[in-house]
Amino acid sequence: MTKKTRTKNAPGWGDATKLVRGGLERTPFGETSEALFLNSGFVYDAPETAEKRFMGEDDGYVYGRYGNPTVSMFEERLALLEGAEACYAVASGMAAVFGALACQLKAGDHIVSSKALFGSCYQVITNILPRFGITHTLVDGADLDAWAAAMRPETKCVFLETPSNPTLDLVDLGAVAEIAKRAGTLVVVDNIFATPILQKPLNFGADVIVYSGTKHIDGQGRVLGGAIVSTRKFKEEMLKPFLRHTGPSISPFNAWVLLKGMETLKLRVEAQSLSALTVAQHLQATKVVSRALYPHLESHPQYALAKKQMSLGGTMVTFEVEGGKEKAFDVLRNLKVIDISNNLGDAKSLMTHPASTTHRNIGPEARAMMGITDGMLRLSVGLEDIKDILDDVKQALAD
Ligand SMILES: *Cc1c(COP(=O)(O)O)cnc(C)c1O
């Protein structure tokens, strides 16, 4: 077998360099771009080689459900960016959320989670895991006493989203990690809204981080994907035995798209975040807008924490219009540039009405508990000229 050449990952690299070069492994053809290995299986030069690979004594690939060279490059690039030992790529963000939880939990275990959650995360914790005898307590993510009070001897894991989808509530990562450490539980962070560019939960004591590659990492509306970032021990002892046999593998093609998406991730997230702040400032000063939520607006109830945890405020802005669902739908209908879409983190600006889409399924009571109102709209700010985004928002909001 011909040897592939791995380019060196330098320890001192900055994020932009890691995003472009991290994990790159070239074939003997010397291709510039990362190669796409679109194969499901692998062949061996001898039966002994196959046996050794299955015994784990030879670290070559055995089967697409277990691993793939393109997928490995994506995993290594993301681990490097995060400053983590390991990463496991999966088919979607929800496969990452479910995998990160289910791999470590069993009947009788208990989870403590912040209550402000993406609709599907809420379903996993409150509907799906309970079917397997895994109980939960939902807490107000900003209430540190509530986090501490919810810990029980059988609590195995803490789950949280910060900022949350769509209310942009924050959780103090350092403080919750400390409470969890005292209780002897792991902290799993859904860092999808913040992205690995703006917030690095490992620096605050988190143990496991989940991503949807579908959002900012692709950022161009093409593929689904997800990833779980962790220690090597967690990957080897928890993730591999669970994920290899349950099969939520990412397609090599999707991993390749995400790998290429990472090259521009920092540029996109920073530019989109700067535009998002401008849009949030405008919305805050608009009469029909009763509330504008953005982590780096001084009016955000957790502004100080947002400044401490996030280098920029993110690409998402949530706001509430007076006049409830009817007015919110009017705003959506009026849009000329921004698309109506529940996706996010895209180069194209996208707006959705969470109560009738992403958070429709969870019902009115759960929405009320999370603070999701009928007049609430969520805007994912894209890469268009800021003037065009602002003009569109302004005309859509005009009475
Ligand atoms: C979109 C999203 C997910 C799920 O990601 P998919 O790739 O759509 O499965 C999980 N958490 C949050 C906060 C999200 O926004």
**Tens-place pLDDT, residues 192-241:** 999 999 999 999 999 999 999 999 999 999 999 999 999 999 999 999 99
pLDDT tops 90 at residue 5 = no
pLDDT tops 80 at residue 322 = yes
pLDDT tops 80 at residue 35 = yes
pLDDT tops 60 at residue 3 = no
Please give the domain boundaries of the chain with CATH numbers for all domains. 1-88+228-263 (3.40.640.10), 93-213 (3.40.640.10), 265-398 (3.90.1150.10)
- How much of the chain, in percent, has pLDDT values that exceed 90? 95
Give dist(CA 367, CA 209) in Å, integer. Answer: 25
pLDDT tops 50 at residue 2 = no
pLDDT tops 50 at residue 150 = yes
pLDDT average, residue stretch 76-94: 97
Nearest residue (by CA) to ligand 1, atom 3, is: 93
Nearest residue (by CA) to ligand 1, atom 5, is: 93
What is the number of the ligand 1 atom nearest to the C-alpha of 165? 13
pLDDT tops 70 at residue 100 = yes
pLDDT digits (tens, 9 = 90+) for 328-387: 999 999 999 999 999 999 999 999 999 999 999 889 999 999 999 999 999 999 999 999
3-state secondary structure of 270: helix
Burial class of residue 97 (count of CB atoms within 10 Å of its CB; 0-12, 13-18, 19+)? buried
Q: How confident is the model at residue 59 (pLDDT cuts 50, 70, 90)?
A: confident
Other beta carbons within 10 Å of 274: 14
pLDDT at 136: 98
| Lowest mean per-residue pLDDT among 3-12, 99-108, 265-274 | 3-12
d(CA 212, ligand 1 centre) in Å: 5
pLDDT digits (tens, 9 = 90+) for 156-194: 999 999 999 999 999 999 999 999 999 999 999 999 999
Mean pLDDT of the chain: 96
pLDDT at 16: 97
Residues 6 or more apart whose Cβ sits within 8 Å of residue 212: 92, 93, 94, 96, 192, 225, 226
pLDDT average, residue stretch 47-56: 94
Q: Is the CB of 74 under 6 A from ligand 1?
A: no
What is the number of the ligand 1 atom nearest to the C-alpha of 97? 10
What is the number of the ligand 1 atom nearest to the C-alpha of 117? 13
Give dist(CA 234, CA 216) in Å, integer. Answer: 25
